[in-house]
Structure formats: C-alpha cells, structure tokens
Homo-oligomer: A and B are copies of this chain.
Amino acid sequence: MQNHKIPDETVHRLPVYLRELLTLQEQGIEKLSSQELADSLGCGCYQVRKDLSYFGRFGKRGVGYTTEILIREILNILKLNVPQKAALIGIGNLGLAILRYTGFGKYNFRITAAFDSDGKKIGQIIRNITIEDIKKIRTLKRRSVRIAILATPEAAAQQIADELVEAGVTSILNFAPCNIKVPKNVQVRNIDIAMELACLPFMASE
C-alpha cells in the first residue's frame, strides 16, 4: 500500500468515514456501497468513491464493501490498528473535559499521562490517570508516548511544546489559541474553538 500518495484532504476525511462506519456497524449494517456511505454522511458519492479508491480495490463492483473490512482497512491506513498512547498537558476546564471524554477508545487511543503545573491538581486521580507535575514531561521519552494534546493557556504553550519535542513527541494536537513553532518532523494540528466560531458568520452569509 502506498500511503504516501494519499492526499491530505482524503486522510482528513478517513476518520469521518470511520466514525460513520462504526455507527453503521453498530446498527447491524454488514455491507454497503460507497453510495450508501455517502448518503449516510450527506456528502457526494463521487468524493467517497474517489477517497476510498486511493487505498486499493477491496470493494467489489455492484456488491460494495464489507463494513468490517472497510473499518479494518481504514484503521490500518490511519495506523490506528495498534493502540496509541497520548499525553495531555493542562488540566483546566478543557483539559478536564478531554480527560473525562470516553470516545477515544473506539479509535484505539488512550490518554496514559496527564500533566499540570498547579500543585492543587498534581496527584489528583481522574479516570485512573494521576495528574503529574508538568516538570515530568521529559519522562514521556521512556514511556514511549509520541502523541500529546496541548490544552495549556496561550502563555505556556510554546515552552511546553518545546519540552514535548525534547521528550520525543512527534504529534501535537494544539488547543492553545496560538501558533506554536516546532521542528519540521513534528506534526501539529490546531483546534482553536474561537477561531472555528469566527468562520461561521461569513459562511452563513454566503
């Protein structure tokens, strides 16, 4: 499989397909066509068919896809076939919401470490995770955690990002409302809730 040829936009849609397929599977749907998947998602069939075509012909013309196989293939492509460990930094309101969120399991993710700088929070146990002192970020290296969720205030974000990179983290999901600078080999995805909101009035007026 030549994953490096899959366009970014397609990769970003794969989790959407995966989520829908998991829901359809729960509803007992064992087989489906790209048209049915598109209908269920409310998007165009052409796009779904094209996206799925990037990773080989495991659908059968006229028969469509076996839900279970399609799920497994997408998990493979997204490298979610093996359990993934993630660290969470910053246990404020948002960090707490993320720590308590139960939906990561279906993508084979588990938050295995949580850090904060607040002495009152350090040592607290939430969902079996003990909040650790932020000074211990460097221990992520030997704990083989390569993915981090950054939910600190803006002022701390860059320094923590530097420490995460130092500790061997290669992927950061950044919720801090600022741009963070990292070496080229480190991937960052940014989610700024206020900025997402800021796109809506324009979109609504189109």
Contacts and interface: CB of A to CB of B under 8 A. Distances in A.
Interface in A168-203: 170-171, 173, 177-179, 181, 187, 189, 191-203
Q: How many copies does the complex hold?
A: 2
B100 A93 contact: yes
A201 B97 contact: no
A123 to B, nearest CB: 20
Determine chain A's interface SS by DSSP, over half rule: helix
Contacts of A14: 199, 202
Interface in A72-107: 77-80, 84, 86, 92-94, 96-98, 100-101, 103-104, 106-107
Interface of A: 3-4, 11-12, 14-16, 18-20, 23, 40-42, 77-80, 84, 86, 92-94, 96-98, 100-101, 103-104, 106-107, 109, 146-147, 149, 170-171, 173, 177-179, 181, 187, 189, 191-206
